[in-house]
């Protein structure tokens, strides 16, 4: 078959078939992953394609660029103490899970640390993109968003340290380059905004994506994968919003999300083509189910108890927040790939991680009776009474200023958003 027709059929298959199957409560990313596994079983090594790999890189980079753009430091400051307690508990659970994997799993301490991150870190970009379809109220969306963002910031810092810690000289060099990146990206954004954007109206989106890809490639070369650099670029662009309002404007956020929507399916498909045949075994199935039964209730229970005891939240709302934070799909896939490539984990463990990621992603879709999507639209019934829908918005854009919406809807002070009711 003609190569162009093959690519056209692949694009059609990844963008249409997963959406069509969502009526059966199958999340679209999981369908793309299964299609990639099917291609691997059918074509073997021929399923590894350079063009698909490039599109996959665009997908994962743009998704984490969008996650960085979604960080609202004012919202994080409003919920500082609850989020700090959440991070302390998250750090303790990560340390405990890593120690258990190192002590009883026969893994090196680095592999054990990455395994803990893969099992316990929610996929923030994925959760934010799908939040509008879960039917959560404004306050619940606020806490889900900011807990996911805070957890991802912690996970990215831990990922950088764990991957570099065995080589002090390399870690020092990588840290210096990362600091230079943190200093250089704002200067680059400002330079482009001063000398390019005024002469090319509407180019802010292209410049934002380009800088995000440069940052992603830089951190990939440092050995900490694309997602760190892309996230940092998005975060810096968000911090420059007052100086360069068009750079991280609502229109650009919407455009980046749509850009990620198109390319993210290729990431899941490409990840599926790299699944070894040994990962599709009964041993992997049993280990994955055991892992899910042991860890998923613990994750849900820790957040549920935390919110019940520390913040006095009602049982139902605490459970809804806990369930919305369960998906780990993207983070687990990324770290499972690193574990296989750099630490040579057994195929059965790799397959178990994939099953665990699939089940954690599927759970909210079943419980909330709505399929996960990579480009949701806000249902009017999920908004507070009297809230008008913006002209261009999605589920991911709503939590940016939740306190004001809650205040206007309930007649309370804005600072009431700092703690759960």
The DSSP secondary structure of 141-161, one letter per residue, reads HHHHHHHHHHHHHHHHHHHHH
b/e per residue 319-329 (b: at least 16 CB within 10 A): bbbbbbbbbbb
**Mean of pLDDT over the chain:** 83
**C-alpha closest to that of 400 among 302, 297, 254, 263:** 254
Q: Is residue 408 pLDDT above 70, yes or no?
A: no
- Tokens for 266? 């290729």
Summarize pLDDT for 273-308 with one digit per residue, the tens: 999 988 999 999 999 999 999 999 999 999 999 888
Summarize pLDDT for 35-71 with one digit per residue, the tens: 999 999 998 888 888 999 999 999 999 988 988 898 8
Q: Is residue 375 pLDDT above 60, yes or no?
A: no
Average pLDDT over residues 110-115: 94
Q: Is residue 399 pLDDT above 50, yes or no?
A: no
Question: For the chain, what percent of residues have pLDDT higher than 90?
Answer: 47
Q: Is residue 132 pLDDT above 80, yes or no?
A: no
Can you tell me the distance from the alpha carbon of 122 to that of 6, in angstroms, rounded to the nearest whole number?
A: 34
Q: State the chain's maximal CA–CA distance in angstroms.
A: 64
- Which pTM was predicted? 0.81
Most confident of 108-117, 161-170, 172-181, 366-375: 108-117
Please tell me the predicted confidence (pLDDT) of residue 373. Answer: 46
Name the band, by pLDDT with cuts 50, 70 and 90, for residue 369: low
Output the DSSP codes for 338-351. HHHHHH---HHHHH
b/e per residue 227-258 (b: at least 16 CB within 10 A): bbbbbbbbbbbbbbeeebebbbeeebbbbbbe
Summarize pLDDT for 306-353 with one digit per residue, the tens: 888 877 777 888 888 899 999 999 889 999 999 999 999 999 999 999
Look-up: residue for tokens 């200067």?
187
Summarize pLDDT for 33-45 with one digit per residue, the tens: 999 999 999 988 8
State the Cα angle at 40 between 36 and 41, rounded to 5°: 120
Look-up: residue for tokens 């749509």?
258
């Amino acid at each position: 078959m003609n190569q162009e027709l093959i690519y056209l059929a692949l694009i059609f298959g990844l963008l249409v078939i997963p959406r069509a199957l969502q009526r059966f409560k199958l999340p679209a990313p999981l369908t793309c992953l299964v299609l990639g596994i099917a291609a691997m079983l059918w074509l073997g090594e021929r399923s590894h394609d350079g063009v698909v790999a490039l599109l996959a890189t665009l997908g994962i980079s743009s998704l984490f660029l969008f996650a960085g753009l979604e960080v609202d430091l004012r919202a994080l400051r409003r919920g500082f103490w609850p989020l700090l307690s959440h991070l302390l508990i998250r750090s303790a659970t990560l340390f405990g899970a890593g120690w258990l994997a190192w002590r009883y799993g026969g893994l090196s301490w680095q592999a054990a640390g990455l395994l803990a991150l893969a099992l316990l870190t929610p996929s923030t970009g994925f959760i934010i993109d799908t939040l509008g379809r879960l039917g959560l109220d404004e306050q619940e969306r606020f806490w889900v968003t900011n807990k996911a963002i805070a957890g991802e910031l912690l996970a990215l810092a831990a990922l950088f340290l764990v991957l570099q810690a065995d080589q002090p000289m390399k870690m020092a060099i990588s840290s210096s380059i990362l600091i230079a990146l943190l200093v250089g990206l704002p200067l680059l954004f400002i330079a482009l905004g001063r000398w390019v954007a005024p002469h090319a109206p509407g180019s802010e989106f292209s410049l934002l994506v380009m800088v995000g890809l440069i940052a992603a490639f830089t951190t990939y070369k440092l050995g900490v994968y694309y997602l760190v650099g892309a996230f940092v670029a998005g975060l810096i662009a968000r911090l420059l919003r007052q100086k360069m309002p068009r750079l991280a404007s609502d229109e650009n956020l919407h455009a980046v999300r749509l850009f990620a929507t198109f390319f993210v399916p290729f990431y899941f498909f490409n990840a599926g083509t790299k699944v070894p045949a040994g990962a599709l075994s009964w041993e992997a199935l049993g280990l994955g189910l055991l892992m899910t039964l042991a860890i998923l209730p613990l994750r849900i229970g820790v957040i549920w108890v935390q919110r019940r005891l520390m913040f006095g939240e009602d049982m139902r709302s605490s459970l809804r927040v806990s369930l919305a934070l369960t998906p780990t799909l993207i983070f687990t896939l990324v770290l499972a790939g690193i574990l296989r490539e750099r630490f040579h984990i057994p195929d059965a463990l790799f397959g178990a991680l994939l099953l665990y990621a699939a089940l954690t992603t599927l759970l909210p879709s079943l419980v909330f009776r709505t399929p996960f999507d990579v480009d949701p639209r806000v249902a009017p019934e999920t908004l507070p009474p009297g809230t008008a829908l913006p002209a261009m918005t999605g589920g991911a854009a709503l939590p940016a200023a939740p306190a004001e919406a809650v205040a206007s809807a309930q007649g309370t002070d804005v600072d009431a958003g700092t703690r759960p009711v």
